[in-house]
Chain A
Amino acid sequence: MGRPPKLRAIGPASYELPIGFKPGMRVPVRVYGTEKLVAEMDDQVYQQAANVATLPGIVRASFCMPDAHWGYGFPIGGVAAVDAETGVISPGGIGFDINCGMRLVRTKLRWPEVQPRLRKLVDALAARVPAGVGSRGFVRATPDEFREVLRGGARWAVRNGYGTRDDLAFTEAQGCFEGADPDCVSERAVERGRRQIGTLGSGNHYLEIQVVRPEGIFDAELAEAFGLGFPEQVVVMFHCGSRGFGHQVATDYLHEFLRAMPQKFGFPVIDRELACAPFASREGRDYYAAMCCAANMSFANRQVILHRIREVFSELFGRDPDALGIENVYDVSHNTAKLERVRLDGVERRLLVHRKGATRAFPPGHPELPPAYRATGQPVIIGGSMETGSYVLAGVASGEASFFSTAHGSGRRMSRTRARKLVRGRELQDRMSARGILVHAASQRGLAEEAGFAYKDVDEVAEATELAGLSRRVVHLLPVGNVKG
């Protein structure tokens, strides 16, 4: 923990580190969080955010969300908007797990109906949605078919029977980033990813059954608009990304950028994980096209997982998915770079907004939102630890200050190595079971690493985003069953 002396408060739950904190900074660092969260942030967050502030073309500030913690190149919870004409693109500003994101699915089921079958439900979901080392999905894609997935994203999945058109309407960018070009993706990345559609992964990825409690509703009107209106409602939340495919894309281009930075672009390498290329260069454009492919693989992955969830619920409760009301509330990424048109000092500019461990949070009235959410603002999904619960929030107009970006999770505060020294997986599983949370874990060691105490206080994170004017709380969701990757 190392709050820099130069960090000064500039508003509610908002702080700033001035240009000059580190040589070469072009913009200040803006940190969002309560006193407690800011005090808990590791020193590397400030150092890394200051490195980000040196990137060519960055505008306004290098942002840290309230759940920020150390990452590769950028801190996780880092946001940087760069000018699309003069700025750079950095894989470290997107994350290795490109388009890692959250999907929230509502049902018409109430907890008393589900509770007696929870064990069966969790086991069936774990069987249908593979997780952990070497897991492969049920979709068998040849390399050429996989390239179609990369072009079409969740639209490919729906075309192939894994979902509905409504699922797409409630997915960011309708489940497909334009600009994907499979020719910019290596054969190795294709080989690595083509058998992973429909899999959860490991680490902090999970699929969770959650319940809406009456005391968890912060804004009844917005909750109802998101279809989360009745108490004891059962919902399913899951967190996963582009699996090994996205990692291979990021690794391939990181190496290419590191070679080109000193030789072709004349950029200094201050941190290898912060490698970058001008967005307008051949290297930058190719990476963007490959990143869009990985984003689309991830959208397809989450869409296929939703299809599997529908199958499991339908078989277990003996009704078809429509009768069970299994519908997509929203799917939103927290690891991307997106081209967005933004008014800056009265001039409209095209910016490439890097959000790494940060959620896009469009306000009411934004033209990119589906009509059902035009008046409410975009649903924001903040996944907490498996012990503490999660939040649904909504985008707000004042979020313009951070290019409509907010937090994505509770944020780690303890290393994996330390967490597993403090608790064994089996012990944690028993403890959670005693508290009414049933866990199916692919690895006991992995389970211990994800213990609630390894994370920041998600209530504080959600509150901080509201205080800072980045998003507003709608519903708190309580976990009751968890499939842990």
Chain B
Amino acid sequence: MTSASAFEFVDRVTSDLCFVARGASVEDVFAASAEALLAATVEDPGTVTARVRRSLALEEPALDLLLLRFLNELIYWKDAEQLLLRPETLRVSQAGAARLEAQLAGERIDPSRHRLEGDVKAATAHGLRVGPGGGDGGWEAAVTLDV
């Protein structure tokens, strides 16, 4: 992953939150999407530090469904174990099925340090898109979060 990844929340649906994530590679876009999810959850994602780690390996028939699954895994950890996680390392391959291997790092929710915002309940398939975009041979994803 490089640092050339970013996201912005956009005004597309009435009920929930949409973001567009951009990056130089598909891995960057996945990482930027995870950061957008954190930003929807806590006021300052910078307050989430790497104290615990989890490994993740996923496979889906398409790249956009892989991104959906990846984000929903992060939401699952938040609810089941109160963990706020982001990828520390992440690899995506697309030979046949779309596969992801990641090392996730983060910490348990601590309201004394994390100013909590929206409780994201799911990443959804509505308007979901991952592909080349954003110029300069980069990648782009559009995701709608159910809050």
Which residues of A pack against B, CB within 8 Å? 42, 69-72, 76, 96-97, 132-136, 188, 191-193, 196, 201-203, 243-244, 247-248, 250-251, 254-255, 258, 272-273, 412-418, 442-443, 445-446, 449, 485
Interface contact A273-B126, CB-CB below 8 Å:
yes
Contact of A70 (CB < 8 Å), options: B13, B78, B109: B13
B12 on the A face (CB < 8 A): yes
Q: Known contacts A72-B126, A192-B79, A415-B14; can you find 13 more A-B pairs with CB under 8 A?
A: A70-B15, A72-B125, A72-B146, A96-B121, A203-B119, A244-B75, A247-B122, A272-B128, A273-B126, A412-B14, A416-B15, A416-B17, A443-B117
Contact A251 to B116, CB < 8 A, known contacts A413-B14, A418-B11: no
8 closest A-B pairs by CB: A202-B119, A272-B125, A244-B79, A134-B109, A133-B116, A191-B80, A412-B14, A192-B79
Question: What is the bound-complex CA distance between A417 and B15, given in angstroms?
Answer: 10
12 contacts between A and B (CB under 8 A): A72-B126, A96-B121, A96-B122, A133-B116, A134-B79, A134-B119, A243-B79, A244-B79, A255-B65, A415-B14, A417-B17, A449-B118
CB-defined contacts of A446 to chain B, threshold 8 Å: 117-118
Contact of B118 (CB < 8 Å), options: A202, A254, A258, A412: A202
**Most B CB within 10 A of own CB, among A71, A134, A417:** A134
Interface contact A201-B119, CB-CB below 8 Å:
yes
Contact A417 to B116, CB < 8 A, known contacts A96-B121, A133-B109: no
Interface contact A133-B119, CB-CB below 8 Å:
yes
Question: What is the bound-complex CA distance between A133 and B13, given in angstroms?
Answer: 22
> What's the minimum C-beta distance from A401 to chain B, rounded to whole angstroms?
27
CB-defined contacts of B118 to chain A, threshold 8 Å: 133, 202-203, 443, 445-446, 449
Contact of A273 (CB < 8 Å), options: B12, B15, B41, B124: B124
**Most B CB within 10 A of own CB, among A71, A96, A258, A415:** A415
B10 on the A face (CB < 8 A): yes
CB-defined contacts of A134 to chain B, threshold 8 Å: 78-79, 82, 109, 111, 116, 119
Interface contact A42-B14, CB-CB below 8 Å:
yes
Interface contact A72-B124, CB-CB below 8 Å:
yes
Question: What is the bound-complex CA distance between A342 and B87, given in angstroms?
Answer: 52
Nearest neighbor of B79 in chain A, beta-carbon distance: A244
Question: What is the bound-complex CA distance between A72 and B43, given in angstroms?
Answer: 26
Contact of A485 (CB < 8 Å), options: B12, B78, B119, B126: B119
CB-defined contacts of A272 to chain B, threshold 8 Å: 125-126, 128
Contact A97 to B121, CB < 8 A, known contacts A188-B76, A417-B9: yes
Question: What is the bound-complex CA distance between A443 and B126, given in angstroms?
Answer: 26
Nearest neighbor of B78 in chain A, beta-carbon distance: A134
Interface contact B125-A254, CB-CB below 8 Å:
yes
In the complex, per-residue mask of B97-136: 1 if CB is within 8 Å of any chain A CB, else 0: 0000000000001010000111101101110100000000
Contact of A415 (CB < 8 Å), options: B11, B109, B116, B119: B11
CB-defined contacts of B52 to chain A, threshold 8 Å: none
Question: What is the bound-complex CA distance between A193 and B128, given in angstroms?
Answer: 26
Question: What is the bound-complex CA distance between A229 and B124, given in angstroms?
Answer: 44
Question: What is the bound-complex CA distance between A441 and B110, given in angstroms?
Answer: 18
CB-defined contacts of B122 to chain A, threshold 8 Å: 96, 247, 250-251
Interface contact A442-B146, CB-CB below 8 Å:
no
Contact A247 to B121, CB < 8 A, known contacts A133-B78, A273-B126, A416-B147: yes
CB-defined contacts of B17 to chain A, threshold 8 Å: 416-417
Interface contact A196-B146, CB-CB below 8 Å:
no
Interface contact B117-A133, CB-CB below 8 Å:
yes
> What's the minimum C-beta distance from B127 to chain A, rounded to whole angstroms?
9
Nearest neighbor of A42 in chain B, beta-carbon distance: B14
> What's the minimum C-beta distance from B85 to chain A, rounded to whole angstroms?
13
Question: What is the bound-complex CA distance between A449 and B15, given in angstroms?
Answer: 10
Interface contact B14-A133, CB-CB below 8 Å:
no
